[in-house]
């Protein structure tokens, strides 16, 4: 999955990108080319599981992060930026929530509206051209073109009303059509309120506006602090977080927010060689989840032996979970639950 960081110029996207990628990716400030890197998904549950299961390695799930150049006021540059946005799977819209001498007072409502408008207008241009092409193809016996035309007509009606495509219900076939055109307003969006170092908790009025503008999920963080924390060694990181009254970096909350808007969940495998997190679609069938680890496990799937990570924290060991009768044996029809710790049995 590719997550694109978007926002107006100067909102702190690149600083957040550096925090997410632990400063491992060289960046070029002011470049019109996106910065790309792999970010570990901070996960408190993963670290706790490793406390109960002695292991050699702890491997977090990852996400590919794309720091897309800031959206300018218009012109050819805007087209380049929008083209980058069209290629990612999900968007984290970073919104400035502090006053800046050069940029002026924070105006999150205006920034969110401007971004939404740019994406919607761009989708309108695409859908109008696509409808024209699909209409011509549908005059014959092209069944696919007729299906495409129906989806595009529905999309056009929404966009004409100023509604993002994600606001409507689409079945799997319709979603596939939307993805093929890269419609930006169909992509899941997480609003990120980037606050000042003096407002780590996001108590300012600007952050409240971002929360209210979200569809239920938003994150408040200070990209500057997160970037500084990411540069530190583990022990120093804990000390810095404690000095600010924080338990963990806000990057973990950002990852959880992205999972929520994308409809994803996390399961874990735990053994003496490694404790590892895996991200899957929510309620994914057990064999498909096994396939995320290896296709052979999916092909030869027999059953999944699992328990909730909270049960591990409660009982202290898998042995105690078994003795309490809480270890479950699930078959092919089992829908994976967020937080499952799983051992897949298979035969190929």
Q: What is the pLDDT of residue 73?
A: 54
Residue 292 lies in a domain: yes
d(CA 155, CA 178): 9
d(CA 89, CA 287): 24
Residue 277 lies in a domain: no
**CATH of residue 304:** 3.10.20.30
Helix H segments across 87-169?
Answer: 108-138, 143-160
- Residue 333: which domain range? 283-346
C-alpha dist (Å) from residue 237 to 187, 232, 305: 34, 5, 36
Which of 39-43, 87-91, 319-323 is the most confident on average? 319-323
Provide mean pLDDT across the span 209-234: 88
In the structure, what pLDDT confidence band is assigned to residue 145 with cuts at 50, 70 and 90? confident
State the residue for tokens 């060289």: 26
How many separate domains does the chain show? 1
d(CA 15, CA 222): 10
**Angle, helices 13-20/251-262, rounded to nearest 10 degrees:** 100
DSSP-derived letter for residue 334 is P
Provide mean pLDDT across the span 27-35: 80
Residue 318 lies in a domain: yes
pLDDT in tens, 232-282: 887 788 788 888 777 677 777 787 788 888 888 999 999 999 999 999 999
Residue 209 lies in a domain: no
Residue 319 lies in a domain: yes
Residue 75 has pLDDT above 70, yes or no: no
Residue 308 lies in a domain: yes
d(CA 93, CA 30): 18
Q: What is the pLDDT of residue 105?
A: 94
Residue 250 lies in a domain: no
pLDDT in tens, 302-328: 999 999 999 999 999 999 999 999 999
Contact 34, 15 (CB under 8 A): no
What is the β-pairing status of strands 189-194 and 301-308? Answer: unpaired
In order, the DSSP letters of 41-85 are ---HHHHHHHHHS--SEEE--EEEEEEPPPB-SSSHHHHHHHHHH
Query: Which residues does 207 contact at the CB level (< 8 Å), separation at least 6?
Result: 97, 108, 193, 195, 199, 220
Residue 67 lies in a domain: no
**Any idea how long the chain is?**
348
CA atoms within a 13 Å half-sphere pointing along the CA-CB vector of 158: 20
Contact 8, 103 (CB under 8 A): no
In the structure, what pLDDT confidence band is assigned to residue 77 with cuts at 50, 70 and 90? low
């Amino acid at each position: 999955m590719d997550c694109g960081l978007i926002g107006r110029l100067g909102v702190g996207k690149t600083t957040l990108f550096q925090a997410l990628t632990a400063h491992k990716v060289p960046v070029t400030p002011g470049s019109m080319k996106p910065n790309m890197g792999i970010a570990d998904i901070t996960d408190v549950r993963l670290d706790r599981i490793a406390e109960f299961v002695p292991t050699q390695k702890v491997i977090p799930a990852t996400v590919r992060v794309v720091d897309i150049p800031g959206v300018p006021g218009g012109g050819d540059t805007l087209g380049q930026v929008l083209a980058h946005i069209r290629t990612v799977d999900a968007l984290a819209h970073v919104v400035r929530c502090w006053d800046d001498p050069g940029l002026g007072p924070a105006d999150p409502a205006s920034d969110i509206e401007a971004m939404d408008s740019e994406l919607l207008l761009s989708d309108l241009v695409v859908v109008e051209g696509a409808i024209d092409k699909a209409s011509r193809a549908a005059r014959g016996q092209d069944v696919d073109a007729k299906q495409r035309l129906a989806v595009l007509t529905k999309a056009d009606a929404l966009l004409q009303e100023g509604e993002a495509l994600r606001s409507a219900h689409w079945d799997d076939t319709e979603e596939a059509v939307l993805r093929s055109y890269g419609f930006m307003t169909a992509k899941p969006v997480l609003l990120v309120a980037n606050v000042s170092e003096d407002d780590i908790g996001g108590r300012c009025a600007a952050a409240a506006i971002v929360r209210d503008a979200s569809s239920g999920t938003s994150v408040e963080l200070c990209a500057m602090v997160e970037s500084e924390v990411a540069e530190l060694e583990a022990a120093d990181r804990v000390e810095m977080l404690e000095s600010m009254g924080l338990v963990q970096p806000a990057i973990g909350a950002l990852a959880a927010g992205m999972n929520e808007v994308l409809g994803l969940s996390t399961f874990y495998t735990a053994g003496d060689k490694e404790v590892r997190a895996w991200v899957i679609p929510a309620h994914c069938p057990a064999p498909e989840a096994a396939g995320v680890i290896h296709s052979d496990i999916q092909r030869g799937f027999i059953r999944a032996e699992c328990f909730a990570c909270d049960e591990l924290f409660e009982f202290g060991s898998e042995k105690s979970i078994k003795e309490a009768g809480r270890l479950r044996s699930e078959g092919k029809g089992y829908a994976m639950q967020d937080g499952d710790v799983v051992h897949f049995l298979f035969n190929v």
